[in-house]
Structure 1
Amino acid sequence: MGQFHATTIVAVRRSENDICIGGDGQVTMGEKTIMKQKAKKVRKIYKNSVITGFAGSVSDAFTLTEKFEKKLEEHAGNLKRAAVALAQTWRSDRAMRNLEALMVAADKESLLLISGNGEVIEPDEDFIAIGSGGNYAYAAANALFKHTDMSAEEIVREALNIASSICVYTNDNISVEKL
């Protein structure tokens, strides 16, 4: 079996009451085969107070999401503390070290990128994009965020639509979660 390319994720935070993460639904194997068109790569966790989105191996991302929710429970829902704890475990745990995924997480206060290299990054801007079409979606979100009054959800949807028109690993079967 070939390498799976999985997804484009966009997160936008306009205010503490306007936060959205969305992802496309495509999972591609190798360079040419679309294995799934309607995968859901965003979800609400921890009492519906945190949204996550992932790019990378789907099974690895599910594992990370479960572990992240446990860290949120251990840290009473504190997103930053839970993200740092997850990144530390991810980097130091022998089995987890091989997980191939990136995660974006948001709550009412923060927007974070969490990686297996031990990084927890809070972007300078209130938007971020990851995955195969991440650069395209990021550029679109940047322009829409700075030059329109669109809501977080509208920006996420349009950035993903733009990315899907450019990136062969991104489709327009978009799912979103918002706080």
Structure 2
Amino acid sequence: MIQLKSTTVLAMIHNGAVVIGADGQATFGHTVAKSNVKKVRKLFEGKVLAGFAGSTADAFTLLERFEEKLQSYHGNMKRSAIELAKDWRTDRMLKRLEAMLVVANREGLLIVTGTGDVLEPDYPLAAIGSGSMYAQSAAMALMKHAPHLTAMEMVRESLTITADICIYTNHNFVFESIEDDRLTV
């Protein structure tokens, strides 16, 4: 799996909520080019969340293709991700794209890479980007030791810890969520 030095994106499913968050930093070499890029999106009528790491233009191309796949496969996230990965590996133009996606819905989380990987994590969280291992470690610790926190609180705290450590991750966070309607009274 490729490791991109560009950002941190963290997705989590916890207590019926699906949350994805990312920092806003875009770098150009060793320089911060922009500090407030929105790297997370709601797709397919708000039922699927997606975040990206890597080249912004490449990621937007992949997000568009993934959304087309979601439409074609009636919102089936796993099938859409697999079909995108197939295209990504075989299409000459797509093969050159340097980005990764993390996608989530109520049923699960997936990491999609340009090497054809569609990874379903063992835990209800997934992270990509340069700070991914910091964010994933923090989130796992919070899930274990502070399960009373909401998914949003865990993702926010995990990204904060990551931004304090990773030079490619800043504190300008953007979040998207899918809340569990059954929990709303």
**Superposed pair shares fold, TM > 0.5:** yes
Q: How many residues align?
A: 174
Q: Secondary structure at the match of 2:33?
A: strand
1:133 alignment partner in structure 2: 131
Gap runs ≥5 in structure 2 = 179-185
1:71 alignment partner in structure 2: 69
Residue correspondence of structure 1 range 81-92 to structure 2 within 5 A: 81-92=79-90
Q: Secondary structure at the match of 1:178?
A: strand
Q: Secondary structure at the match of 2:42?
A: strand
Work out the CA distance in 2 between the residues paired with 1:72 and 1:129. Answer: 21
Work out the CA distance in 1 between the residues paired with 2:6 and 2:177. Answer: 21
Q: Secondary structure at the match of 1:34?
A: strand
- CA apart distance, 1:110: 1.3
Gap runs ≥5 in structure 1 = none
Work out the CA distance in 1 between the residues paired with 2:40 and 2:19. Answer: 10
Residue correspondence of structure 1 range 92-103 to structure 2 within 5 A: 92-103=90-101
The reply on whether 1:10 has 2:10 as its aligned counterpart is yes
Work out the CA distance in 2 between the residues paired with 1:146 and 1:127. Answer: 13
What is the TM-score with the length of structure 2 in the denominator? 0.92
Residue by residue over 1:52-88, the C-alpha shift from the partner in whole angstroms, topping out at 9 and shown as x without a partner, is 0000001100000000000000000001100100000
Q: Secondary structure at the match of 1:12?
A: strand
Q: Secondary structure at the match of 1:6?
A: coil
2:183 alignment partner in structure 1: none
Alignment RMSD (CA, Å) = 1.1
Work out the CA distance in 2 between the residues paired with 1:135 and 1:125. Answer: 14
1:165 alignment partner in structure 2: 164
> What stretches of structure 1 move > 6 A for 4+ residues in a row?
none
